[in-house]
Structures are given as C-alpha cells and as structure tokens.
Amino acid sequence: MEPIIFSIETSCDETAVAILKGKNKVLSNLVVSQIDIHKIFGGVVPEIASRKHLNYLNQLTKKAFEEAEIEPDKISAVAVTYGPGLVGALLIGLNFAKGLALNLNKPLIGVNHLYGHIYANFIAFPELKPPFLILLVSGGHTMILLAKDYLHFEIIGQTIDDAAGEAFDKVARMLKLGYPGGPKIDELAKNGKPVYDFPKPLYNKGYDFSFSGLKTSLLYFIKQNKNFKIEDVAASFQKSLIDTLIHKTIKASKEFKINDIIIAGGVAANSYLREKIKTEKEKSKKLNIYFPPLNLCTDNALMIARAGYEKYIRNKFADLNLDAIPNLGLKDIC
Ligand code: KG4
Ligand code: ZN
C-alpha cells in the first residue's frame, strides 16, 4: 500500500501543509504566504512569522484533510521541516507535528528543508534517477551539488558570502522595490536591456560563488548615477548573477560528466534563468534540465512530504526529542 504523508513547512514566512500519497499523488497542497505582512518591514520579522504560523497551522491542517477527503488516522507519517530556518518559526511547525504524530500514534519524520527543495523536482519528474547535478538557489543557499544516490549530496561549490536570492532581495531594497526582491527584479528586467556591465565575481574560478561584490558595485552605481532606467539596471544585475550560476553549473556537468541537472529553490522561479538554461540545452543536446513547477520552487510543504517519503521507505524516523536546527547543513542527512 502506498504511504500517505502529511507534511508541515514553517521554516520562514510561508505556512504550508500538504498530503502526498506515494511518490507523487498530491492530495492537498496549501500555502499561506505572510509576504504582505512582512513587506511593511522590508523583510521577514521572525517573531511575527512564528505568531502567524501558530495562527494558521490549525485551520490549514483541517482544510488539507477536508480537501484530501481522508480521515487524519489514515496517514502513514507526519513529516516536518526541522532546519535550516528561523528557530522560532521552525519550533512552531515541529511542535505541531509532534503533537499530531503523538495524538494519531504515527511516526514522525524530520526533513531538511534543502532536501525538500531538491525533491520538489521528483513530484513533477518521478523518473529522475541519481546521479544528477543540482543547482540549489534560494534565499539562504546557493550551491552546486552532486547527487550520487537519493540521500547523499556532495557539495561541489557554494557561496562564500550572500546567497543568490539574498542578493536579489538586497539589490531590490537598494532600488526601493520592496520585499521579496527576486520576483520584482525578474518582472522589471523583462522590460529592460542588460546594457550595464556589472561584475561576475569568481566567474572563471572554481565552483564557489560570491555575490557581495556585485551587490556593492550596484550600490555605487546607484549612488553615482541619477538618470538610469531601472529596468536596464534590473536586467543587467540579473544577467551578471544568473549567467554566473549557469556558467558554473554547465562547467560542473562537463567535468563530472553528468547530463541530468536539477534546478531547485526560490530563484529557480526566475524567468531569465529558465530561458537562458534552455539555450544551453539547445547547444548541448545531451543535457536534460529539470525545473520544479513555479508553485513548487518557493517554500511549500509538498516538497517536504516528498523528501519525507524517501525517509519513510527507509524507516528513518525521528523521536519526540527532535529539535529545530536553524543552521542545518546538507551534510546532516535529509
Ligand atoms: O526557496 P525560497 O522560497 O526560500 C528559502 O528557502 O530561502 O527562496 C526565496 C528566495 C527569495 O530570496 C526570493 O527573492 C527569491 O527566492 N525568488 C526569486 C524569484 N522568485 C523568488 N529570485 C529571482 N527571480 C524570481 N522570480
Ligand atoms: Zn526554501
């Protein structure tokens, strides 16, 4: 019988629950974004995020079971994000999950949020098999990973300062575009041209990334120039950052001789990234490039259920002592 996983994601400013049957039968996938509340402050306010998770979780859970048309005791396990993320926000989801698991007498599964982002692709592409390369680009992480099997991912390169999404958000703030910056820069850039030559730090050096120099050069550009077309600045910044991501990913695919590439995380929603990587695919017919659907790029609980499924089938359960780990890394298994 296929397992049914109920999952919870509260690592940042999205409160999300989902119910997944087997590998990819979506019974429910609900997300409440708190962006409208946090954008007043120009970024996520951790205390408010925790309070809102507490407000939303109960009603979202009820709604998910109604939508899935199953009784809570029919689930096989409760999967929950235990890191990385904001500690207070994680604790709300984690304690809710523990209460539910205890009450229903079902196993608890702790899921690493980063594995969740990667596993979002397996919902859309169940045929995917290791080995594959992963470009993981979110608000908190930027990494190229090599997946040798389903649960062990080797870090090939990562950012030494800002994450890609963080750079988008900070530059958007400099341009007074509000939070979150990624989608705003993406939209503006569609009506601009990449006429400004911003730096591409570490472009030809290994697989690590650095975006703080690019961000600083934007800051000086904005200070020194008054008459610029904001759409062109957005397009130029976006091009420098995304071209660097793609260049290094393709280089890694050649060096490690891996043709299957997964793009994961919030920045995977970027339309220039999606467009540009298609051209790479056209250049090299061997490449297979996978993106999650847009609604599974940014934070959601379905990806947590899918990663939880991999642990469920291997009997990798947590006990009720499972703690939130705000700086959980990829080395910490799933
Ligand atoms: O994966 P995610 O939802 O949360 C984290 O785990 O960090 O990623 C959020 C990040 C934010 O920095 C946001 O600005 C960025 O993803 N983002 C985008 C786009 N949509 C979201 N960045 C560039 N272009 C987009 N369309
Ligand atoms: Zn995320």
pLDDT at 334: 52
Helices (H), the chain: 35-38, 46-68, 87-104, 113-124, 164-174, 181-189, 212-224, 230-255, 271-283, 294-297, 302-312
Assign 333 a pLDDT band (cuts: 50, 70, 90): low
CATH 3.30.420.40 domain extents, the chain: 4-118+296-312, 130-292
Q: Is the CB of 83 under 6 A from ligand 1?
A: no
pLDDT at 227: 87
| 30-34, 40-44, 162-166, 184-188: segment of lowest average pLDDT | 40-44
In this structure, are residues 141 and 129 in contact, taking their beta carbons and an 8 Å threshold?
no
Q: How far apart are CA 237 and CA 195, in angstroms?
A: 10
pTM greater than 0.85 (yes/no): yes
Residues 124-159 pLDDT 10s: 999 899 999 999 999 999 999 999 888 888 999 999
Residues 240-291 pLDDT 10s: 999 999 999 999 999 999 999 999 999 999 999 999 998 988 888 899 999 9
> 134: part of which helix (H) or strand (E)?
strand 132-137
- Determine the atom of ligand 1 nearest the C-alpha atom of 117: 1
Q: Is the CB of 157 under 6 A from ligand 1?
A: no
High-pLDDT (> 90) share of the chain, %: 86
Residues contacting 268, CB < 8 A, separation 6+: 135, 137, 274, 291, 292, 297
Mean pLDDT of 196-212: 94
Mean pLDDT of 69-81: 98
Residues contacting 119, CB < 8 A, separation 6+: 303, 306, 307, 310
pLDDT at 332: 56
**How far is the CA of 267 from the CAs of 80, 103, 117, in angstroms?**
23, 37, 11
**How far is the CA of 213 from the CAs of 76, 240, 323, in angstroms?**
48, 11, 36
Mean pLDDT of 88-103: 98
3-class SS of residue 33: strand
CATH topology of domain 130-292: Nucleotidyltransferase; domain 5 (3.30.420)
Predicted confidence (pLDDT) at residue 61 exceeds the cutoff of 90 = yes
Between 42 and 22, name the one with better pLDDT. 22
> 193: part of which helix (H) or strand (E)?
none
Ion ligand 2 contact residues with beta carbon within 5 A: 138, 299
Q: How far is the CA of 44 from the centre of ligand 1 (A)?
A: 13
**How far is the CA of 41 from the CAs of 12, 34, 182, in angstroms?**
15, 12, 17
> 139: part of which helix (H) or strand (E)?
none
Predicted confidence (pLDDT) at residue 34 exceeds the cutoff of 90 = no
Mean pLDDT of 36-43: 84
DSSP 8-state symbol, 29: E
Mean pLDDT of 184-209: 96
Q: Which CATH superfamily is domain 4-118+296-312 in?
A: ATPase, nucleotide binding domain (3.30.420.40)
